[in-house]
Structure 1
């Protein structure tokens, strides 16, 4: 790793300070990370839940530092100017947001360029920012750790593509295993002499070498990097996919092949506009798709998942104590949101325990979504009543929440929509319900109506509401109210309880504790 003599190494990492004072930390102090890549320079400021950091600020400048390096061996002069200008801006933004010193990581272009050291010195002299230059294997490891931040305990192969390199790293049970770096970045491939025939040979031979070193990797393939995300946007456009959230977007080997053919047949500029991809990024997509096709063909993954998390998130994961890593990022993000935005922080746990009998047969994966809905059930109370239902749905389906498949996002969104509305027909999100089956949509409606009713029994964090009993074979829903909660069971509460029973196709029974 380049930069091993930097003082950041002596201080235990590029941040030069511990980000998580205790394993029990719930919140993350604001921190800024800059990724100086071969194609783009990006600033991300993280904030929010310690286990599930949110993007407080995110800005990217397409500098193309690595353009033309295959011929000159030096950083693109215009790219240097743009990158330096971006870093000056980012330093001021970081100061204004209170991030402390920005942590800047540089990858393939800076580490390989003849004038890489000179650029590092110029950046430090002009901005005070020290570039932490990492080698290919370290880049692969940090990208893999970024994936683990969003998918705890995942296993498969992480494929990170930048402008000048492509890295592969295996992950299994929360650990990063073998990893490799290659020169299969689209900027380098574009500069390769000999056209498509030579590119195809170089790509095929390089990927084959990587497979020889890494062995079979037939599990999930995780895609990290801007070019992969651009391809995913094209895949969404081709399929007319309704939820434009890249994180956890799934593709199959077949869809990769079909999208590769689709790109070849399209006018690139028209396709760029339809898919919402920048000109600079779209120019590299034809080269990147050639690499992806070969990776998929060679490693034969069972499915492919796009990750918005990479090196930047991997740096945060690096500092997390194991106790923090072991927490569920979805639940932690929802707890943080409840503590920050709900009217009675802690009441979500009361709601979860109260409605649990209805979902006793739910599997663990579904239980965590139910718990997330309970924690989020009151965070949108400030929205106008006419828009709360849609606001809840929009937040759940598009928010920066880790550990959620798209179908789970829609399930969570529907539950929160029904927290405020009995009906979902006619909303602008109606087409998204096609992403889940009818049974799940019905269950989400029941969950939402359970939240809608229980919110009427609003007391305090440690409230004793009584209990609900659900007899699915007899189709009976029994409500036993505590003495404390009984006075809250007014006309509106009764109406909402009846609506819940109707959704369950059950007979409603109400019993009140006697004083």
Structure 2
């Protein structure tokens, strides 16, 4: 039953979980197979940190033997080869905290923290020696948690040996969150947790949530017009970034980008990995502080691959164009159309009724978008003037 609720906790915290979840408590270890919403075989083993320490009589060598013997019963681990191992529970979260400290990781968000298989093996061998006080970064782990770290490391070593996972991902969601998730109706369970949280923030902090929805729709069409492809997660992240695009409007203009970035980068979001979190934060920061401002949050930029960094800049450049034209008023954006012109040019066409918006500043913002996308862009009025910005 604990394994089942642990599985639901992981399912609730990840958009598409696929692997083996392991919930390590003080008395037991629950292992269970997860594939999206499907829950497979599960097992409970007497390998909780306190119990293992007691059974092994404080011997780490004996603890390793016990862990290996017990995990031999968990046949489901063989089915996890090449998939993700989701680590749940306080001891493993503290191991991850130590790994963060050792590697000077720039974001102190535990949920969805990833450790590669190779990095995990080296790290776990060091901790399993039992001399945790000598491990660099141990100051980041509370003293009353340190004694169980070697036992958690031993169990995780043996799981990795039996399972051969592609990587370890830490889940902050476990049994309690899984039980609460089980109380939701089917429709609520299907809701995307990232989009739900972004929607709530948009309602609380933005000038118009309807404008945010316009932005989601308009940028989707714009990405297609520019030939920018997106994965399923990239589409979700763009959606969330658009919902969050105006949450800093109440701040002083000099601090909107920084404040928005801090709120988003450190929010208690689930359903998003750390590179995706960086995408959300940077798109908002670039929107306020300029897409060519290379001094923006280097520690957050380090989390995102070049592909996401590029898309964050492009999305921000589009936001800078349409916020100038709409002033965050809903209903305007759907009237702004992209049209193909000769010589590969792409025109942003304003309806004649909005011709007063045509001018130097919108053309300047469009020129920034042209530069970042390497496209020839035109600002035009339906049946009226046009200006090429590249």
TM beyond 0.5: yes
Q: CA deviation at 1:413?
A: 1.6
Give the aligned partner of residue 443 of structure 1: 311
Measure, in 2, the Cα distance between the counterparts of 1:334 and 1:230: 28
Give the aligned partner of residue 45 of structure 1: none
Q: 1:498 aligns with which of 360, 363, 367?
A: 367
Which structure 2 segments of 5+ residues have no match? Answer: 385-390
Give the structure with the higher percent helix.
2
Instruction: Pick 1 or 2: higher relative contact order, CA cutoff 8 A, min separation 6.
Output: 2
Deviations 1:259-283 (A, max 9, x none): 1233257953464855511111122
8 Å contact 1:417–1:424 — kept in the other structure?
no
Q: CA deviation at 1:304?
A: 1.6
Measure, in 2, the Cα distance between the counterparts of 1:473 and 1:431: 42
Measure, in 2, the Cα distance between the counterparts of 1:474 and 1:154: 45
Give the aligned partner of residue 365 of structure 1: 233
Map 1:245-256 onto structure 2 (within 5 A).
245-256=109-120
Measure, in 2, the Cα distance between the counterparts of 1:275 and 1:194: 23
Q: CA deviation at 1:322?
A: 1.5
What SS class does the counterpart of residue 209 from structure 1 fall into? coil
Measure, in 1, the Cα distance between the counterparts of 2:355 and 2:90: 55
Q: CA deviation at 1:306?
A: 0.7
Q: 1:159 aligns with which of 16, 19, 22?
A: 22
Measure, in 2, the Cα distance between the counterparts of 1:485 and 1:200: 72
8 Å contact 2:207–2:328 — kept in the other structure?
no
Change (3 A) 1:459 1:285: closer
Is 1:513 matched up with 2:382? yes
Change (3 A) 1:275 1:178: farther
Change (3 A) 1:332 1:474: farther
Give the structure with the higher percent strand.
1
Q: 2:68 aligns with which of 183, 204, 212?
A: 204
Measure, in 2, the Cα distance between the counterparts of 1:471 and 1:369: 27
Which structure 1 segments of 5+ residues have no match? Answer: 1-137
What SS class does the counterpart of residue 379 from structure 1 fall into? coil
8 Å contact 2:102–2:137 — kept in the other structure?
no
Is 1:171 matched up with 2:34? yes
Q: Aligned-residue CA RMSD in angstroms?
A: 2.5
Measure, in 2, the Cα distance between the counterparts of 1:389 and 1:404: 21
Q: CA deviation at 1:426?
A: 2.4
Measure, in 2, the Cα distance between the counterparts of 1:140 and 1:453: 50
Is 1:352 matched up with 2:216? yes
Give the aligned partner of residue 236 of structure 1: 100
Change (3 A) 1:416 1:282: same
| TM-score computed with the length of structure 2 as normaliser | 0.88
Is 1:227 matched up with 2:95? no
Aligned residue pairs, count: 376
Is 1:403 matched up with 2:271? yes
Measure, in 2, the Cα distance between the counterparts of 1:194 and 1:265: 12
Measure, in 2, the Cα distance between the counterparts of 1:380 and 1:449: 17
Give the aligned partner of residue 434 of structure 1: 302
Measure, in 2, the Cα distance between the counterparts of 1:488 and 1:480: 11
Measure, in 2, the Cα distance between the counterparts of 1:324 and 1:343: 26
Is 1:307 matched up with 2:171? yes
Is 1:216 matched up with 2:216? no
Q: CA deviation at 1:476?
A: 2.9
8 Å contact 2:358–2:380 — kept in the other structure?
no
8 Å contact 1:152–1:174 — kept in the other structure?
no
Q: 1:257 aligns with which of 121, 130, 147?
A: 121
Measure, in 2, the Cα distance between the counterparts of 1:474 and 1:352: 29
